[in-house]
Amino acid sequence: MLAIQYKAAQSLDEAVTLLATTAGARALAGGHTLLLEPTRSQLGAATLVDLGKIQGLNDIGFTRTGALRIGAMTTIAALADNADIQRDLPALAEAASQVGDPQVRNWATLGGSLADNDPESDLTAVLLALDAQLHLQGPNGTRAVAADQFITGPRQTALTQGELITDVRIPIVGGGSAYEKFKHPATLYALCGVAAHVSLIDGKVGACRVAVTGATEYATRLTGVEAALAGQEPTAEAIAAASEAASGLAFRGDPFGSPEYRAHLTRVLVQRAVTRAVERAR
Amino acid sequence: MRAIGSSLPRGDAVGKVVGATPYSGDLSMPGMLHAVTLFARRPHARILALDLGEAGRVPGVVCILTAADVPHNRFGLNVPDQPVLCGPGDDEHASRVRFVGDKVAVVVAETVEAAERARALIRVEYEALPVVPNPVAARQTGAPVLHAAHPDNVLLHYRVRKGDTLAGFAQADVVVEGEYSVGGQEHAFLQPEAGLAWLDEEGRVAVACAGQWAHEEQEQIAHALRLPDERVRVIHPAIGGAFGGREDISVQIVLALAAQKTGRPVKMVWTREESIIGHHKRHPMTYRCRTGATRDGRLVAAEVELVSDCGAYASTSTKVLGNATIMAVGPYDIPHVSIDAYTVYTNNVPSGAFRGFGAPQSHFAAESQMNKLAAALGMDPVELRLKNALRDGSLQVTQAPMPAGVSMDHVIEQCAESIGWRRTAQGWQRPAAAQPDSPWLRRGIGFAAAFKNIGFSFGYREHCWATVEIHGGGDIDRVVVRCAGSDVGQGAHLAFQQIAAEALGIEAEKVEIVSADTATTPGSSGSASASRMTFMAGNAIRGAAEKALAMWRDEEDRPVIATYEFNPPATTPMDDMGRSTPNFTYGYVAEAVEAEIDTETGEVRVRRVVCADDVGRAVNPQQVTGQIEGAVVQAQGWATIENFVQRDGLVLTPHLSTYLIPTVRDIPDRVDSIIVEVPDPLGPFGARGMAEMPFIPFAPALTAALHDATGVWFDHLPLTPVRVLETLDEQA
Ligand SMILES: Cc1cc2nc3c(=O)[nH]c(=O)nc-3n(C[C@H](O)[C@H](O)[C@H](O)COP(=O)(O)OP(=O)(O)OC[C@H]3O[C@@H](n4cnc5c(N)ncnc54)[C@H](O)[C@@H]3O)c2cc1C
């Protein structure tokens, strides 16, 4: 039998305090990862601290410095539907619209997805490519962590005990972005997903960030690809050549896709994502 | 309004949709016990000892059944070669387990939990035996012998010699050769195996379960329990799909035994995993083919060697092999044919009945050959098919003439025209698929045709029984039809109702169907399989209805009751040259597929399917369309994502998370069902069987579409993305 306690926090401070002071406390957002755990008997005797009643955690808006600020409790459906995101951060809208199914997207939240950091999550790769900053609040105050530093390993993040993601900030720096996904046939998660952001200077690739998810142990920047593209004219040949640099990684395998197949898909999706990002950057 | 030809709604639909209909797993009785099965979960081993001590002491355990409890420890639909329970004893045959789903013990307890706890405490001492993983290994000298009666592990070899293939190939201007392989398939019906057994008010052992042929199950239970048939009663409540997967016994015999032993009702429900390892699969098969034609596209000779993986027990392998044999060159008239077909025992999950029953495998090979031949001749594939299609009186490979009512050419033309084939002065011409912008996406259109027997073949004494009771005074108030035929979800009972109403000239609502209970429908109807239920039961019900109607008019007594047994024309088994009259009638179907392939990821998407199926007469058009769409999707699964993987006898895909079936996101964007109605001279009101046909040509039509898209032939199923990429690379 599971003995689960439930508490609805009214403010971030209360949530942080509850999480810090209650043994076995877990934050509850959309519940789409958390509530699957009881069947795996991992939840045990937990206290769930519901973040759903806290005001302001699901706002989307621009900061004074022009970054897009997205509250942690924003649902994935809201990400997909938001006009600012569709216009300025199409990779994020594309990825969000391909998460699971409508029921999942209507409940699952950005914060929950990032805290979960599933190896096949779509959003992690996108936030890496878009150079997002995660804002956290914990017992020791607030801090900002770059997506690169936030993801530390498979299902591992920089979050410390009792710490919450409050919002995510993504700089709007021009250029173009795109997300390409090969859905896992059994789960619809990413068997392989590639996010790319490219800006062009005089027709050549200036800043460029490319990240992969699903194919590797956890979402990772493809720095070799980025380096190969930098300064190049983004012709089909140059992009194809750069995709070859998506190698030397530890690729995952399962009955639906061997490590070799995932490596192959990574190269294919790098080409497609970069090509579309370049088109949008023009 | 006529009863036949209208899409009357299903009486059982609402109950099933809202979850009110009780399936066998939903049944309960006071004082009921629960049973669980201990499966061997190893492919080949001898059971040296069985220790039930600790298990028997678990509180709540009432009894544990083992091999020693089974009066006659053999069963099987065609060949009784399967132990009910495997275990040590005098019977060396039953002391061995031959596949992962062999059963070792059944624990009967007051609760499921107690039964499961006890099952975990049963100690079985196994001696592992070398595993026979596939037919090639099984036929090597020195391979372990799986059944003493078949020292070479070959259960059956069929040999067909028609004409003189040497002379035939000498006339050929073009010869194509091909090797093909197809995988197994899991039925994945909605409802896993379940049943409830008890001793009824007349002291019979009653078993309520999901099956396809109540009387055959009754016979097999009685045989194993050494009881006269009438001491066993089989009832089919609502059945959650079958597709052939319920032709074999699953829970029935052990449940009957448990009820007999304990005197109490006993229920058992298999989990999905138990269902997947516990019941038979579609036969994996391999083919080597040669086909020859003259320059003008006349088929002159064909040679086929096919091997089917029978798995651990015979199940219906011999019958499936017969079908695969007579369809190994497709629905064409070829003067010189030589076929060798083998079905071979292995330590895999037994292969058995599955929608199409050998026809999908053989048509994949035969129709792929035709598509390659068309390419080699530079001839349109529809043109080539029409030149050679079977017609009334054409000689089959068994040298018997085709039964009357052959509509192959008609069906091919209807299908081809519907997807855009054009008749030109030079003959038929394939439409070009519109290509998308992305260069890695390619689209193509492919075509295939098929035929398939309706009813049991090769000398089986086909028959079907029905009784019709007419109640009322001057007018008919109410009609009761008794016919054992099972409604496995396909809607057979509504078809029965409509046929009875048509024969009697009344509204279908006045007809009540009493069915699938050996106590109330004493005559057998045969199985809900082989696309035969509407055809056979329809004829029996029509016969009984017409007899009853004559009595109604001539006699004073009310109600009137008439019984009729329908017997179609006799068939005969194959001799050593394959000569026979294999079947009394066939169904005809053609399919065109438009598919898109991602040449970089290997993904295949089916955009459109056009299926023209000659159903003779659509008793209920909506149900016909439902069967066509369902069959197309099931065939798409088999051809693409359904990948039943066994390695060294172990099932690597025992869950629906590893064995994938199509979901709403995989199915074709569009399926056009074209109902062709060329009456079957033997069918009730002209109806033919149809439920298997739309499955059969799908796979070769798909691979033809992929060839049209890429120029590459795909000869091995299933077409997982990885296999698609590998095939593209090999032929690049
Ligand atoms: C059927 C299904 C299909 C799916 N398909 C996809 C897919 O295609 N692609 C994909 O990327 N994902 C997919 N997912 C995963 C889904 O996106 C995540 O389950 C979801 O985003 C998690 O968010 P949640 O709000 O439900 O989190 P919860 O389940 O409530 O929480 C998840 C974890 O995050 C913690 N947490 C929640 N909010 C915060 C916060 N603000 N700060 C710190 N920690 C927090 C919780 O304590 C918990 O540990 C799928 C899930 C399901 C059930």
Q: Are residues B627 and B649 in the same domain?
A: yes
Say if the Cβ atoms of B722 and A257 lie within 8 Å. yes
Per the structure block, which two tokens stand in for A238? 């140059």
- Whole-number Å distance, alpha carbon A174 to ligand 1 midpoint, is 29
> Is residue B11 a part of any domain in this protein?
no
Q: Are residues B627 and B719 in the same domain?
A: yes
Say if CB B720 and CB B640 are below 8 A apart: yes
For B292, phi and psi rounded to 5 degrees?
-120, 145
Segment A177-199 mean pLDDT: 96
Report helix, strand or coil for B180.
strand
Residue after which a domain boundary falls, among B541, B566, B591: B566
Q: Whose CA is nearest to atom 11 of ligand 1?
A: A121
Contacts of B658 in chain A (CB under 8 A): 186, 255
A255 touches chain B (CB under 8 A): yes
Chain segment B65-74, per-residue pLDDT in tens: 999 999 999 9
Q: Could you give the CA distance from residue A30 to residue A270 in angstroms, rounded to a whole number?
A: 31
Q: Could you give the CA distance from residue B439 to residue B617 in angstroms, rounded to a whole number?
A: 45
CATH code where residue B532 lies: 3.30.365.10
Give the domain extent around A116: 60-170
Assess whether pLDDT exceeds 70 at residue A138: yes
Q: Are residues A84 and A136 in the same domain?
A: yes
* Ligand 1 near A157 CB (within 6 A): no
A103 touches chain B (CB under 8 A): no
Assess whether pLDDT exceeds 70 at residue A43: no
> Is residue B7 a part of any domain in this protein?
no
CA distance B652 to chain A (A): 9
- For B516, other C-beta atoms within 10 Å of its C-beta total 28
Q: Whose CA is nearest to atom 37 of ligand 1?
A: A112
Q: Are residues A41 and A70 in the same domain?
A: no
Q: Are residues B290 and B379 in the same domain?
A: yes
pLDDT, position A108: 97
> Is residue B147 a part of any domain in this protein?
no
Amino acid at residue number A221: R
Q: Whose CA is nearest to atom 23 of ligand 1?
A: A112
> Is residue B12 a part of any domain in this protein?
no
Of the candidates B374, B78, B364, the residue with the CA atom closest to the CA atom of residue B247:
B78
* Ligand 1 near A32 CB (within 6 A): yes
Q: Are residues B362 and B485 in the same domain?
A: no
Of the candidates B153, B571, B82, the residue with the CA atom closest to the CA atom of residue B315:
B82
- For B152, other C-beta atoms within 10 Å of its C-beta total 15
Say if CB A199 and CB A235 are below 8 A apart: no
Residue A46 confidence class, pLDDT cut points 50, 70, 90: confident
Q: Could you give the CA distance from residue B464 to residue B515 in angstroms, rounded to a whole number?
A: 13
Residue after which a domain boundary falls, among A129, A148, A170: A170
A220-221, strands of its sheet edge to edge:
A176-183, A190-201, A204-213, A220-221
Name the pairing type of β-strands B154-162 and B604-614: unpaired
What SS3 string covers A34-77?
HHHHHHHCCCCCCEEEECCCCCCCCCEEECCCCEEEEECCCEHH
Percentage of residues in chain A having pLDDT higher than 70: 97
Q: Could you give the CA distance from residue A186 to residue A174 in angstroms, rounded to a whole number?
A: 36
Q: Could you give the CA distance from residue B183 to residue B283 in angstroms, rounded to a whole number?
A: 7
Chain segment A249-275, per-residue pLDDT in tens: 999 999 899 999 999 999 999 999 999
Assess whether pLDDT exceeds 90 at residue A128: yes
> Is residue A55 a part of any domain in this protein?
no
Q: Are residues A152 and A193 in the same domain?
A: no
- Whole-number Å distance, alpha carbon B45 to ligand 1 midpoint, is 45
Residues of chain B with pLDDT under 50: none
Residue A4 confidence class, pLDDT cut points 50, 70, 90: confident
Q: Are residues B401 and B299 in the same domain?
A: yes
Say if the Cβ atoms of A182 and B603 lie within 8 Å. yes
Facing A268 at nearest CB: one of B601, B645, B658: B601
Assess whether pLDDT exceeds 60 at residue A40: no
Per the structure block, which two tokens stand in for A142? 């607030």
Q: Are residues B198 and B242 in the same domain?
A: yes
CATH code where residue A161 lies: 3.30.465.10
Q: Are residues A104 and A152 in the same domain?
A: yes
B241 touches chain A (CB under 8 A): no
pLDDT, position A44: 67
Contacts of A268 in chain B (CB under 8 A): 600-601
pLDDT, position A203: 96
Q: Are residues B227 and B287 in the same domain?
A: no
pLDDT, position A2: 60
A184 touches chain B (CB under 8 A): no
Facing A261 at nearest CB: one of B652, B660, B722: B722
CATH code where residue A241 lies: 3.30.390.50
Of the candidates B368, B369, B316, B364, the residue with the CA atom closest to the CA atom of residue B343:
B316
Residue after which a domain boundary falls, among A114, A142, A170: A170
Say if the Cβ atoms of B722 and A255 lie within 8 Å. no
CATH code where residue A24 lies: 3.30.43
Residue to mutate among A262, A268, A276, A279, with most B CBs inside 10 A, is A268
Q: What is the residue-wise DSSP string for A193-240?
A: EEEEEEEEETTEEEEEEEEEESSBSS-EE-HHHHHHHTTS---HHHHH
> Is residue B276 a part of any domain in this protein?
no
In Å, how far from its chain's centre is CA A3? 31
Decide: pTM greater than 0.80. Answer: yes
pLDDT, position A42: 62
> Is residue A31 a part of any domain in this protein?
yes
Say if the Cβ atoms of B660 and A185 lie within 8 Å. yes
In Å, how far from its chain's centre is CA B190? 16
Helical spans, DSSP H, in B558-655: 621-639
Average pLDDT, chain A: 95
A104, A136, A182: residue to mutate for ligand 1 pocket, most atoms within 8 A of CB: A104
Q: Could you give the CA distance from residue B332 to residue B327 in angstroms, rounded to a whole number?
A: 9
Give the domain extent around B253: 33-129+193-269
